[in-house]
Amino acid sequence: MEDFKNILKWLNNEMTNEELAAFRKTDDYKLYKNIAEEAKNINLTSINETVALQDFKARISNRTKKKSKVISIGRNFAFKIAASIALLVGLTYFLFNFNQETLKADFAENKSFLLPDESSVTLNAVSQITFSKSSFKKNRQLKLDGEAYFSVKKGSAFNVETEQGNVAVLGTKFNVKSRENSFKVFCYEGSVAVSHHNTKIILTKGEGVQLTKNNQLVKLLNPKSSAPLWLNNESEFTEEPYTEVLAEFERQFKMKIISESVNTKVLFTGGFNNKDMNSAIKSITLPLNINYRIKDNEIILSK
C-alpha cells in the first residue's frame, strides 16, 4: 500500500534534499515517477497567442468605440490671407526681439543659468525667460513663462514679469511659478514684492502666495522650506486644480495626458517624483480613484 502522504509531499516540491534522496529509493517512487513526469508532456489543446491577442484587441476596441472627426482646413482665400498675416507678425516679432535673449528648459529637464548680473536662475521643465541683452545689467527686468527659482545678487531692483503678476526684489532667493492654471511665488530668503492687478503683497522668508480659482492671492506659510522641491525632482501641489497637476506631469515626462473622461476641476494636494514615471502616475491617479493606461507617449485617464 502506498504512502500517499509522502507522494503528495514529493509532488508539491516540499521535500528537502535528504528526504528526496531517501524517497527515490522507495517503490512508491518507481511506481509514480513516470506518471508524474510524463503528465507534464501530455498533449493539450493550446491557443496561438498572437491570434488570441489580436482577437482580444478587437474585442476591446469594440467596447470603447471612439468617434473622432477630422476637420480639414480648406485651401481658400481667407486661409492664404491668414498665413500672410502670420508671416508678417512673425517677422516683426523677430526684428523686435533681435536684442532679446531667451533661455529655456525643455520637457523633462531643469536648467540653471547665470544671468549677466551674476544672479542665477534654475528653470523647471518647459519654462523660459527672456530679457534684453544690452540693458539687463542696468535695468534688471525679465519675463518669465513657466516656473523658475531665482537667486538674486544684491543690487538694484530685480523684476520678474509674468502673465499673471509681477515680482520685484532687491536681493533674495525665490521661486516663481506662472503657468496657464497656476500662479505661485515663494520667498526663501530676503523679501519680495508680488503684485497682481491692484494687490501688492510683500513676502519675507518662508512666505509665499498662490492665486486661487477666484483670482485672489492667498498666503502660504512654510518656514522650514529652504528651496523649492522641484530642484530635488519632486513636484508638489497644495489645493491646486487637477488640470495643473496633469500639465506639470506632461512637462516633467513629455507625455500627453488625455483626461476628457475625468473631472479635472477638483483641487489636488500631494505630489510626485519627477524622475520615476510609474510611481508618479500612481501618486496622482490612485488617490482620486482614477484609472490610467499608458500607450506609447499617451496616458489615458478614466474613471
Maximum Cα interatomic distance, the chain, rounded to a whole number of Å: 102
136 binds another protein (CB under 8 A): no
Instruction: For residue 3, give the nearest of 33, 26, 37 by alpha carbon.
Output: 26
The correct pick among 49, 72, 78, 197 for binding another protein (CB under 8 A) is: 49
72 binds another protein (CB under 8 A): no
**What is the closest distance, in whole angstroms, from the C-beta atom of residue 274 to another protein in the complex?**
16
297 binds another protein (CB under 8 A): no
41 binds another protein (CB under 8 A): yes
Listed as own residue / partner, the contacts of 112-119 with beta carbons closer than 8 Å and 24 or more positions apart are: 115/142, 117/153, 117/155, 117/158, 118/153, 119/150, 119/151, 119/152, 119/153, 119/158
Point out which span in 98-106, 180-188, 234-242, 286-294 binds another protein (CB under 8 A).
Answer: 286-294
Instruction: For residue 119, give the nearest of 179, 169, 186 by alpha carbon.
Output: 169
Give CA torsion, residues 13, 17, 22, 24, to 10 deg. 50
The correct pick among 16, 18, 27, 50 for binding another protein (CB under 8 A) is: 50
**What is the closest distance, in whole angstroms, from the C-beta atom of residue 28 to another protein in the complex?**
10
Residue 134 has phi, psi (to 5 degrees) of -75, -35
Point out which span in 31-39, 92-100, 218-226, 237-245 binds another protein (CB under 8 A).
Answer: 31-39
**What is the closest distance, in whole angstroms, from the C-beta atom of residue 259 to another protein in the complex?**
15
261 binds another protein (CB under 8 A): no
User: Which is nearer to another protein, 15 or 103 (by Cβ)?
Assistant: 15
Residue 122 has phi, psi (to 5 degrees) of -115, 125
| Angle formed at CA 272 by CA 243 and CA 186, multiple of 5 degrees | 75
Residue 19 has phi, psi (to 5 degrees) of -60, -40
Separation between Cα atoms, residue 33 and residue 209, nearest integer Å = 76
> Which residue type does 206 have?
G
Question: In this structure, are residues 175 and 228 in contact, taking their beta carbons and an 8 Å threshold?
Answer: yes
The correct pick among 34, 72, 76, 232 for binding another protein (CB under 8 A) is: 34
Separation between Cα atoms, residue 257 and residue 101, nearest integer Å = 32
**What is the closest distance, in whole angstroms, from the C-beta atom of residue 303 to another protein in the complex?**
11
User: Which is nearer to another protein, 32 or 113 (by Cβ)?
Assistant: 32
Secondary structure class of 127 (helix, strand, coil): strand
88 binds another protein (CB under 8 A): no
**What is the closest distance, in whole angstroms, from the C-beta atom of residue 37 to another protein in the complex?**
9
Point out which span in 143-151, 168-176, 204-212, 290-298 binds another protein (CB under 8 A).
Answer: 290-298
19 binds another protein (CB under 8 A): no
User: Which is nearer to another protein, 45 or 72 (by Cβ)?
Assistant: 45
Question: In this structure, are residues 283 and 292 in contact, taking their beta carbons and an 8 Å threshold?
Answer: no
Number of residues that bind another protein (CB under 8 A): 46
Instruction: For residue 264, give the nearest of 243, 233, 294, 239 by alpha carbon.
Output: 243
Residues of the shown chain interacting with another protein in the complex, contacts defined by CB under 8 A: 2, 4, 7-8, 11-13, 31-32, 34-36, 38-56, 58-60, 62-63, 278, 282, 285-286, 291-296
